[in-house]
Structure 1
């Protein structure tokens, strides 16, 4: 199952930028490891924003939840991270469904 995740990261008044960078370094290591393992299809950092976009390929909604709850950035500062999730469907599969429905 493919999912589009859009992370918006804020940080509290008591957190320094260096603390944010430390957390983000741990997050980057985990994210790049997940990409190497094939769970993360790809990642993008939005220039000029504290925003990251990821495409994940996982076996279930439950797995997605588990991953999202255990990310370093969520463990360390989850109250300041907003994640928008969109379930994705490969366009080829959609096209096949449309063709099948048209023929019925």
Structure 2
């Protein structure tokens, strides 16, 4: 079964056990499983959520069977919870909103290694018409695309298919900048009471696996 060009956002959470878990070694196994599966899958990103037993991955899939085998391998580890949702690149969604193509650029892959954060947005629009909400979302997309294209801001976004949810990875040197930035977003200024925004620090999973075993404090 072909699934050319499709992407999935995968969340793997390591669950507690009575015996306890050697989390670094367990995450090392997850890192090994979340690799490109022949030509069937390409892992665009895989991050560890800092301070949590959770991994976030973005996987491009050309053959769904390869993806299913990867997910099956994760479940064989035991003590995990795995979720997967279809996503699209924010660039194509911005085009659908009518954002000027001149400010829509390719994502900055890979993102820098240091000072990475993850934002998850869940948008509602109580008190607004759908047209008003989409107009605000268009301004939001214009703001983000312009910041990346014109100012070189390191950010990559993915929209969940058929849902008002967005996953965002970005780099800022100072966490206080995240607050300042969030208050500037059109979606927050115009519709903030309808937005559930969550923030986590993240690090590349392969970098974590290397450093946790090889670096001393």
Q: Work out the CA distance in 2 between the residues paired with 1:28 and 1:9.
A: 13
More helix per residue: 1 or 2? Answer: 1
Secondary structure of residue in 1 paired with 2:178: helix
Task: Give the structure with higher Rg (CA).
Answer: 2
Q: Deviations over 1:5-50 (max 9, x none)?
A: 00000011x3100000110010000111122233242111110100
**Aligned match of 2:136 in 4, 18, 23?**
23
Matched, 1:75 2:194: no
Q: TM-score by structure 1 length?
A: 0.87
Q: Alpha carbon RMSD of aligned pairs, Å?
A: 1.7
Q: Which 4+ runs in 1 deviate beyond 4 A?
A: none
Q: Return closer, same or farther for 1:84/1:23 CA change in 2, 3 Å cut-off.
A: same
2:156 aligns with 42
> Paired residues, what number?
101
Q: Distance in 1 between matches of 2:206 and 2:153?
A: 21
Which structure shows the bigger proportion of residues in strand conformation? Answer: 2
The match for 2:146 among 22, 33, 41 is 33
For residues 60 and 20 of structure 1, the distance between their equivalents in structure 2, rounded to whole angstroms, comes to 31
